A and B are shown apart, each in its own frame.
Chain A
Amino acid sequence: MITSTLTAGQLWTLALLGFFHGIDPGMGWLFAVSYGLQERSRKSLLRVLPFVALGHEGAIAVMVVILTVSSSLLAAKVVVLAGGGLLMLYGLWLLLRRRHLKWVGMRLSSWQLAMWAFVMSSVHGAGLMLVAVFAWGPDEKVSALDLRNGVGQVLVNGAAAMAVHVGVMIVTTGLVALLVYEVLGLRILRSMWVNLDRVWAFALIGAGVATLISA
């Protein structure tokens, strides 16, 4: 049986990122709460969660595939350098852009919700952070997603990464949604909603720089 070669540090980082995406109102819990409030039912709130998870998972999966394919075609160093540069540029773009995602529509079917979460997570650059995580692999020369390690190994590593990240993300999303719905109320948005988009943009830039330095 093949086991994941991800280090504890990598898994913790993935979990931490999942937590961050979970508490970000733009990533799903706010949508869940709005469904709960609109229908006056906790069930409606909970119904949203699996589809938010699915969409988020999709955005990460796309990145895992891109990373896997590129690490099998290119030298590890090239992938890490390109990835680090991309992280930095995307973070800068997020920081400086004067536009935000335009999406219209509150009454979404389950699949539309998943699509919404996919779009939201992708634009956010959620999957991009994987570059940084995988760059700090166990072996400096071999990425955790390099096909030359064998397809099985890559699949296991990718699945483990997604399971940990999305697992923590959706549990956090659900807990925050329930806490706001049952106890706190949406008024806390006014005082507690720090501009996480900007925090995230700085995080991407920082991760990009760190990746480039470590390469």
Chain B
Amino acid sequence: MALWKPDPTFYPSPRDAVAAPPEKLAYVATFDRAAARPDAIAVVGTDPEDSRSYGQVVGFTELPETGDELHHFGWNMCSSALCPYAPHPHTERRYLVVPGLRSSRIYVIDVIDDPATPKVVKVLGPEELAKRAGYSRPHTVHCGPEGLYVSCLGGADGADGPGGVAILDHESFEVLGRWEVDRQDQYLAYDLWWHIAHDVAVTSEWGTPSMIEDGINPELLLGRKYGHQLHFWDLRRRRHTQTIDLGDQHQMALELRPAHDPTKKYGFAGVVVSVEDLSASIWLWHDDKDRFAVRKVITIPAEPAPAEKLPPLLKDFGAVPPLVTDIDLSVDDKWLYVSCWGTGALKRYDVSDPFNPAEAGEVRLGGIATETPHPAAPGEPLRGGPQMVEVSRDGERVYVTNSLYGSWDDQFYPAGVGAWMAKIDARTDGGVSLDPGFFPHGEEAFRGRRAHQVRLQGGDASSDSYCYP
């Protein structure tokens, strides 16, 4: 039912969104690696005023099916509902739209009726996505002008690719079709974001289902076959306009984080690993006379480690790659957070000057060779590392979880990746520190599931786009 006043979680501009109240709950996608039990949305208390629920899993909604491998998810509506061309701000931000990366199912989950007990209200089978859009392996969901944009990694009906974007109606949640009208050389897919006020979309590349589902394939990696390009699109006409190749040594160009300020035309892309020196990198894309150009602005080197601390995959290299698997940009566009899932670090960069990021702080948690424990459980070596990273709208709190992708977890952390979530306080002096009072972890908290993406109640730094500066 439509509201009389705009949904209070919609903000016209990033400047306004920064003043949003702190989130009281976080929603975490969790999955059962064995696919024996259903995956679930875990609800974690984030309100420090409520000491009983703070840092605790207060809700756990299991899905009706098994084998989904929940990954990224998004909201049915967000601040882009205030955009001037087709405003519809009286529809609620009410549903989480949650794709199963392995099953190709998409769940619609109501979190307004009882925010701590999400309720599944609709399930779209893989055949809907296949029939209407010709895609499978839905990955990223963003609410936008034409509906919900769902980036999918694979093709349908046995086709491995191309991956691309399916459009869902954001009220009925029916699959409306394939988004691309003209995709040119784009074949691999991963993330999707946009400069909404410039009618520009950007997509990145990981791999097709056959390249990723059984684990990272060293032959493909050393053969430089994983994605290493960015694609720019006319968001309005749905046409591919430009390909930028970062260089094929830069394997897996994953997360895209455009500036929230709609007058700006730049953003950051994270690259997982360079096959030349195992380093990871962050790239800036920016406008350059009607086209886009890129520049590598951050390089994070690999860290040497003795062979006995390395999984079989890395033994010959004698080093741990940082593996930048997720990045997040604060709503005020001043701070970039970078997850180094391999070395077990979360880095904070001052990107007020996007061309010259300056490292401002770092926390260490887990890591392949280090297994740095959390201060809340100093005796427990921690596996996995900061992976999915989400920043609150006011920019003061950063949440991380530790699973990357089931089969890849097993290769990099063969002794078991575990399951944990941590909260990091972004200090005003630019530093970062772990909150010792917030550490849901292990069997008890996540009931044997692994923890992936976090979404914060009411929106977060990677959920909304804004049409006004």
Contacts and interface: CB of A to CB of B under 8 A. Distances in A.
Interface residues of A, number: 31
Interface string A63-89: 000000000000000000000000000
Nearest to B176: A102
A186 B86 contact: no
Given A25-B87, A190-B10, A193-B6, A106 B199 contact: yes
Contact of B469 (A38, A102, A103): A38
A47 B5 CA distance: 29
Interface in B1-45: 2-6, 8, 10-13, 16
A195 interface: yes
B84 A30 contact: yes
Contact of B197 (A30, A38, A189, A195): A38
A195 B90 contact: yes
Contacts of B469: 37-38
A116 B85 contact: yes
Given A99-B169, A189-B6, A106 B467 contact: yes
A116 B236 CA distance: 13
Contacts of B413: none
B90 A197 contact: yes
A106 B89 contact: no
Given A38-B263, A99-B171, A107-B199, A195 B3 contact: yes
Contacts of B8: 190
A105 B85 contact: yes
Interface in B240-266: 262-263
Contacts of A116: 85
B110 to A, nearest CB: 15
Given A102-B145, A106-B198, A186 B468 contact: yes
A166 interface: no
Contacts of B172: 98-99
Nearest to A108: B85
A105 B196 CA distance: 8
A198 interface: yes
B12 A104 contact: no
B199 A104 contact: yes
Contacts, number: 99
B12 A194 contact: no
Contacts of A40: 263
A198 B4 contact: yes
A144 interface: no
A189 B12 contact: yes
A108 to B, nearest CB: 8
B329 interface: no
B236 A105 contact: yes
A106 B194 CA distance: 12
B12 A186 contact: yes
A30 B87 contact: yes
22 contacts: A25-B84, A31-B85, A34-B84, A38-B197, A38-B468, A99-B171, A102-B145, A102-B147, A104-B85, A104-B145, A104-B146, A104-B236, A105-B236, A106-B83, A106-B197, A116-B85, A186-B13, A187-B16, A189-B12, A193-B5, A195-B3, A198-B2
Interface of A: 25-26, 30-31, 33-34, 37-38, 40, 98-107, 116, 120, 186-187, 189-191, 193-195, 197-198
Given A26-B87, A186-B468, 5 more contacts: A34-B468, A102-B145, A187-B12, A193-B89, A198-B4
Ranked nearest first, the 4 interchain pairs of A and B with the lowest CB-CB distance are A105-B236, A186-B12, A30-B84, A31-B84
